[in-house]
Structure 1
Amino acid sequence: MEDVEPHIIEAVEQKDSNDPLRVLKDVAAGTCGGFAQVLVGQPFDTTKVRLQSSPPGTYTGGLDVVQKLIKTEGPLAFYKGTLTPLVGVGACVSVQFGVFEGMKRFFSKQNISNGKTEGLTYAQYYFAGSISGLANSILACPIEHIRIRLQTQTASAPKQFSGPMDVIRKVQQSSGIPGIFRGLTPTLLREGHGMGVYFLTYEYLVNRDMATNKIERKDIPGWRLCVYGGCAGYGVWLSAYPFDVIKSKMQTDSIDATKRQFNSTIDCARKTLQASGVKGFFRGFVPTILRAAPVNASTFYAFELAMRAIG
């Protein structure tokens, strides 16, 4: 990877690589971030998925989804399928942050061994984030698949699934193990690129704050960490949202392989474009972008607080 000197961020705060518990601490802090992400973001996510996966004309927008959900299914409908993501997203975010922190240490050591500053380049931050996203995809794909199946059940239609385990059982019976991992390709695309932008945005803002104000990472006020986390959330969705739409469409398609509307990621993208044009790749974008700031602000804030407490 080419090093571009003007893009080197000098003020990165490195963790003690000799700490035998470093990885476990990173994972534990990431899990705290994941729990915060689910609890804050689940209502937004349910609204987004309903918009993405419902037939055109079902809802006029995010507010219409909210109104109809409250009227027909009650406020708790926003938390349908929450148990799976609470456990699963906690695991996913712990993987994201654990791998990212590990890649930061790897690149720092590599830079030092090459006689350069230990600070990472922008490209290295992006690549570290991308690797964390790809690693997370293996967990995120089936977890999100299960959650989406539960989120899209409506009170007006016969209940197809009684819970997460029932989703797994019925999907596996109908389509085998590959069926559980349906939507993996767009998940890899979303996470690989999106997490690169996500972590690059956050780390750039944090390092600029440390350099500008001559402070350490632990001294950055919580409100500024929240702002940086919110900006990172905007970055990931502005750069990778169409992949998420394709993933949602594939994961809400029939569990019976012989009755599916979409045969592949490319087929789903082609049919979406034919049916709705470019705007079809941005259905549900408004609740997603509204969700981005509070959800990712809470994720990074919880992570940073946990890291400060753990040491």
Structure 2
Amino acid sequence: MASSAESFTPVYTPPGWRDNVKDLAAGATGGVAQVVIGQPFDLVKVRLQTQGGSGALSLTQQIWQREGPLAFYKGSLVPLLGVGACVSIQFSAFHYFQHQLTSHNRPPTLPQTYLSGALAGLTNSILSGPIEHIRIRLQTQPQAHPLYTGPWHCALTLLRTGGLPALYRGQTATLIREGHGIGIWFATYEGLLSLAAKRQSLTRESLPNWQIALCGALAGEMLWLLSHPIDVVKSRMQSDGFGKDQKYRSFREAWGVAVRGGGGGVWKGLGTALLRAGPVSGGTFVVVEMVRKVLG
């Protein structure tokens, strides 16, 4: 071990197939943790973005009183089944692209890390797009007269309504948010983790869990600060009606309405998103790192 932080240089080791298996397993576990921790926050965020309201606390109280505590996990079956797969794809694709973009035996630069994360986010969006669309439909449907009996009914209804384009509504916004957002997420996390390890002359594997959680939490805050406006547009498009009830014909139109301030503007629900981001992101990275250590 080096005697000072200034003389410590982390060694980059290219990933092998065992690392890919660990990424998949750790990502799946981290995805489940992400849903369990973040679903109540996400429900409030989506409703604020799509239906407005006086504030997150007031809306939370209304949901509790009118729909009961289980309402905060409305639409969670699809995320539980799908987010684990999505996070698995994110981590395995991230390390794959990072390996492709990085010179052998040299640690990746911050731009390389961002690009690797962005490519992982774009790859993941193929699966995350329809999963989030279904979740948002279930979270925003009327309580008194629900339109869908569950996630599978929702998916089939969308397919019958307009085929794959209906299922993938808002995909342009999803691609932008996932690409830029996941790029920021991994770049911030890896940058902070490397800085913490270097300052303490430690390897990243030996950092305590609280530091991993802190780096992950800050990465989550940065993700949502820099991608929230796109997420607002995505939520509006994916909760929009069909046919004569459709308000937004394109991403550009939805963006224009949001920017002009209709229904709260592009920053509606940001407070709830940031409140959710810290524990969800920190918990995800801690679980992922713990599972990777257990798997050796």
Normalising by structure 1, we get a TM-score of 0.89
1:32 matched to 2:18: no
Match of 2:159?
172
Match of 1:142?
130
Question: Could you tell me how far 1:134 is from its partner in structure 2?
Answer: 0.5
1:267 matched to 2:261: no
The CA distance in 1 between the partners of 2:233 and 2:165, in whole Å, is 17
The CA distance in 2 between the partners of 1:12 and 1:295, in whole Å, is 29
The CA distance in 1 between the partners of 2:11 and 2:256, in whole Å, is 43
Match of 1:14?
13
1:104 matched to 2:89: no
Match of 1:307?
292
Aligned partner of 1:264: which letter?
A: S
Asked whether the 8 Å contact 2:182–2:223 carries over to 1, the reply is yes
The CA distance in 2 between the partners of 1:27 and 1:208, in whole Å, is 26
Aligned partner of 2:258: which letter?
A: T
Asked whether the 8 Å contact 1:12–1:120 carries over to 2, the reply is no
1:133 matched to 2:133: no
Question: Could you tell me how far 1:12 is from its partner in structure 2?
Answer: 5.3
Match of 1:162?
149
1:76 matched to 2:61: no
Match of 2:172?
185
1:50 to 47, 52, 64: 47
1:121 to 71, 85, 109: 109
Question: Could you tell me how far 1:105 is from its partner in structure 2?
Answer: 2.2
Question: Could you tell me how far 1:179 is from its partner in structure 2?
Answer: 0.3
The CA distance in 1 between the partners of 2:146 and 2:122, in whole Å, is 33
Match of 1:223?
210
Question: Could you tell me how far 1:132 is from its partner in structure 2?
Answer: 0.6
1:246 matched to 2:245: no
- Judging changes above 3 Å, is the alpha-carbon distance between structure 1 residues 281 and 36 closer, same or farther for their aligned structure 2 residues? same
The CA distance in 2 between the partners of 1:202 and 1:265, in whole Å, is 30
Question: Could you tell me how far 1:107 is from its partner in structure 2?
Answer: 2.8
Question: Could you tell me how far 1:168 is from its partner in structure 2?
Answer: 0.7
Question: Could you tell me how far 1:216 is from its partner in structure 2?
Answer: 1.6
The CA distance in 2 between the partners of 1:221 and 1:237, in whole Å, is 25
Question: Could you tell me how far 1:185 is from its partner in structure 2?
Answer: 0.3
1:210-241 Cα distance to aligned partner (Å, 9 max, x none): 21111122210000000000000011111111
Structure 2 spans left out of the alignment, 5+ residues: 1-7
Secondary structure of the residue that 2:146 maps to in structure 1?
Answer: coil
Question: Could you tell me how far 1:153 is from its partner in structure 2?
Answer: 2.4
Match of 1:204?
191
Asked whether the 8 Å contact 2:56–2:269 carries over to 1, the reply is yes
Secondary structure of the residue that 1:158 maps to in structure 2?
Answer: coil
Greater CA deviation, 213-222 or 138-147? 213-222
Over 4 Å off, 4+ runs = none
1:93 matched to 2:80: no
Match of 2:280?
295
- Judging changes above 3 Å, is the alpha-carbon distance between structure 1 residues 275 and 235 closer, same or farther for their aligned structure 2 residues? closer
Match of 1:280?
265
Asked whether the 8 Å contact 1:10–1:119 carries over to 2, the reply is no
The CA distance in 2 between the partners of 1:106 and 1:252, in whole Å, is 38
Aligned partner of 1:89: which letter?
A: V
- Judging changes above 3 Å, is the alpha-carbon distance between structure 1 residues 281 and 307 closer, same or farther for their aligned structure 2 residues? same
The CA distance in 2 between the partners of 1:288 and 1:227, in whole Å, is 17
- Judging changes above 3 Å, is the alpha-carbon distance between structure 1 residues 253 and 10 closer, same or farther for their aligned structure 2 residues? farther
The CA distance in 2 between the partners of 1:194 and 1:14, in whole Å, is 26
The CA distance in 2 between the partners of 1:215 and 1:49, in whole Å, is 40
Question: Could you tell me how far 1:258 is from its partner in structure 2?
Answer: 4.2
Q: Give the count of matched residue pairs.
A: 289
The CA distance in 1 between the partners of 2:159 and 2:88, in whole Å, is 27
Greater CA deviation, 35-44 or 206-215? 206-215
Provide the identity percentage. Answer: 41
